[in-house]
Amino acid sequence: MRGQICRKVVLHNDLGISDSFWVKAWFLAELFKGNAHGYELINSLSTIFPQETTQTSSVMGNYYRLLRELELLGLVNSSWDTSGSGPARRVYSITEKGKLEFISIIEQIKHTKEFVDKFLDTIGKEVK
């Protein structure tokens, strides 16, 4: 399942974990808190990726493709919101499978953090 998510999302890859991993984790984290429109999810990326511009149509398209892939994987559901004025907007919600995946991602991030901390503690002694 991992590695199949939208390979065209490019933010930075400094930590050895793909960019799409972080975007997937962020979208699931936001949806874990509650439902959201796709545009809201994409704009919220600036919270953790302040250097990322999400306003170009090609970048927006990549993120919408990622949301669609999350839906195809059964991690999120979507429906059309036609209640407001203007065009209908797609609202996303996390599924039970998505919640389990999110919890798994958090554990993976914690494990990676422990590794990075140990690595820095070990190598830091030699770099000083």
Count of the separate structural domains present in the chain? 1
Report the relative pairing of strands 89-94 and 36-37 from DSSP bridges: antiparallel
pTM: 0.78
Pairing of strands 36-37, 76-81: unpaired
Q: Indicate the Cα dihedral angle 91, 96, 101, 105, nearest 10°.
A: 80
pLDDT of residue 61: 86
Q: In CATH, what number is assigned to the domain containing residue 27?
A: 1.10.10.10
Q: Are 75 and 15 in contact (CB under 8 A)?
A: no
The tens place of each residue's pLDDT in the chain, 128 residues long, gives 444 444 444 444 445 577 788 899 999 999 999 999 999 999 898 888 776 655 666 778 889 999 999 999 999 999 999 888 888 899 999 999 999 999 999 999 999 899 889 988 998 777 66
In a domain, 104, yes or no: yes
